[in-house]
Structure 1
Amino acid sequence: MALFDSHCHFDFDVFAGDFDAHLTQARQAGVKRMLIPAIGKSNWSRLESLSRRYNEIDWALGCHPYFLSECSIEQVDHIVTHFHTTHTKPIAIGECGLDKMVEVDFALQRQVLQSHLTAANELQLPVVLHSRKAHNDLLHILKQQPAQFGGILHGFSGSFQQAMQFVEKGLLIGVGGIITYPRANKTRNAISELPLECIALETDAPDMPINHFQGQPNHPKRLPVILSTLSELKQIEKQTIAQKIWQNTTSLF
């Protein structure tokens, strides 16, 4: 089965010591493609370099709300210019979004997100969206300023009704390790109801730990664990799910 990890931070230091070995482990687990979203200008060149070196790695260009202190609004406004200077082009804009759990001015977060959406629409690229405790605010912005070329709501946690509101905005729902926890009833129920056409898989490695692997850095090689859980929740064979989600994700990007 070919798997696409639609969101992993494989450039982080925890993987740097023996990067080729980590990539081999992901390949052996069936991960044929992965998207590494930027967190800020500090890792833009690193992501482009990895994407140029490894065929299975793609990257997204943007500024995570958590790291806005490292990425001024002026830098965000120059995303389009930076895109045109890159040799290996990003395939999406992000990671960008809203986060009410970080100590970053929310008005600034909104302004930066709107700049990302403007860039994505101008460059005709999908967006990789982050939302924590901010679904309603994000939906309001997307109503005013749609992501014209689609995108993914990464690391979804919420109800079926919330998920479908984002699907109606043209987004895939990024499903990660949270569904491996039996107590995550609301999200597990939501994902079990969600049509396969609306789903992408992700690890968010090295974050978003998977059940039974707490305390260890998450890894793209564990994407099959999420797939297996999704298969159990939906009562559909893994091969069928893998094929459909591969189609979803490669069509988007």
Structure 2
Amino acid sequence: MHCHLDLYPDPRDQVANIARQKSYVLSVTTTPRAWRGTTELAAGHPRIKTALGLHPQLAKDRKSELSLFDKLLPEARYVGEVGLDGGPECRTFWHDQAEVFDHILASCVKAGGRILTLHSRAAAKDVLDALEKHPGYGVAVLHWFSGTQRELARASEMGCWFSVGSAMLRSQKGRTLAARMPSHRVLTETDGPFGMVAGKPLQPGECADAIKVLADLWDTDEAAARDKVASSFRELVSL
């Protein structure tokens, strides 16, 4: 549900690998300007979808691209990576982040709703507050959620979905949060090439280890866990 296909050293090689593996991949972008080229990477590969994004860490420098975001939005079914980042290095331009995220959510409402993959590092409460202010935005998928258990409960009650990867699930906190997520709204991701295991970037469809952990958390076998995630994925894309 979430990788940065255009930021791998050889994106076209990654596309060929995805095609061979018959994986389904949501490729996110960090700026509206990157969307067209990243979409063209996946041309002829219907299992690869491209999300239109403006990453919160780039909000200050790229908010001038919001007009381009609005222009491209009718062509995009998925939106991401978008959201808020409360890390210390990003707090200095919090106002820009909030302005960009508010605009994106309002645009999604006007467009009839979208499936969004959301960044919420150290900002889960603020992301959820923003979602509540924009009913009709669509469906929220919280990527690599790292908030508190109370924030997780709130997000679950709001109907949010979650995407988890093996990098997230290596930590005890990540596994504890994943165990408390509504299992019928949990999907797999990699966040590659930023998501890494043993110092190596995860490949776009490299989710086998995540499935193993989810199977353990759900007290089932790997085949059943894969089927559950696949069923949830089909439900999401039907919304």
TM-score range, shorter chain: 0.7 to 0.9
- 1:68–1:168 CA distance, 2 compared to 1 (3 A): same
Mapped contact 1:15–1:22 kept (Cα < 8 A):
no
The DSSP-based 3-state class of the residue aligned with 2:162 is: strand
- 1:13–1:187 CA distance, 2 compared to 1 (3 A): closer
Mapped contact 1:41–1:63 kept (Cα < 8 A):
yes
1:129 matched to which residue of 2? Answer: 118
Shift of 1:36: 0.8
Distance 1:20 1:198 in 2: 27
Amino acid at match of 1:90: A
Shift of 1:168: 2.1
Alignment of 1:237 onto 2:221: yes
1:140 to 129, 133, 136: 129
Distance 1:238 1:122 in 2: 41
Alignment of 1:200 onto 2:191: no
CA RMSD of aligned residues (A): 2.2
- 1:92–1:163 CA distance, 2 compared to 1 (3 A): same
2:201 matched to which residue of 1? Answer: 217
Distance 1:32 1:18 in 2: 14
Shift of 1:68: 2.4
- 1:17–1:122 CA distance, 2 compared to 1 (3 A): closer
Amino acid at match of 1:239: A
The DSSP-based 3-state class of the residue aligned with 1:93 is: strand
Post-superposition CA distance 1:12-49 (Å, at most 9, x none): 1423373454335xx43xx5211011100331112221
2:31 matched to which residue of 1? Answer: 40
2:234 matched to which residue of 1? Answer: 250
1:60 to 37, 44, 51: 51
2:10 matched to which residue of 1? Answer: 15
Post-superposition CA distance 1:141-183 (Å, at most 9, x none): 22222354212011112444322211222210111224442xx
- 1:233–1:146 CA distance, 2 compared to 1 (3 A): same
Stretches of structure 1 lacking an aligned partner (at least 5 in a row): 1-5
The share of aligned pairs that are identical, in percent, is 24
1:190 to 147, 161, 177: 177
Post-superposition CA distance 1:71-116 (Å, at most 9, x none): 22x42144232234xxxx3221221111122445101101100111
- 1:215–1:44 CA distance, 2 compared to 1 (3 A): same
- 1:243–1:160 CA distance, 2 compared to 1 (3 A): farther
Amino acid at match of 1:149: G
197-206 or 120-129, larger mean C-alpha shift: 120-129
Runs of 4+ in 1 over 6 A off after TM superposition: none
The DSSP-based 3-state class of the residue aligned with 1:129 is: strand
Alignment of 1:117 onto 2:105: yes
1:150 matched to which residue of 2? Answer: 139
Mapped contact 2:84–2:120 kept (Cα < 8 A):
yes
| TM-score with structure 2 setting the length | 0.87
Post-superposition CA distance 1:168-214 (Å, at most 9, x none): 22210111224442xx223212212323112111000111213xxx2
Distance 2:104 2:46 in 1: 26
The DSSP-based 3-state class of the residue aligned with 1:55 is: coil
Mapped contact 1:151–1:252 kept (Cα < 8 A):
no
| TM-score with structure 1 setting the length | 0.83
Distance 2:8 2:186 in 1: 29
Stretches of structure 2 lacking an aligned partner (at least 5 in a row): none
Distance 1:175 1:19 in 2: 20
1:76 matched to which residue of 2? Answer: 66
Distance 2:226 2:180 in 1: 17
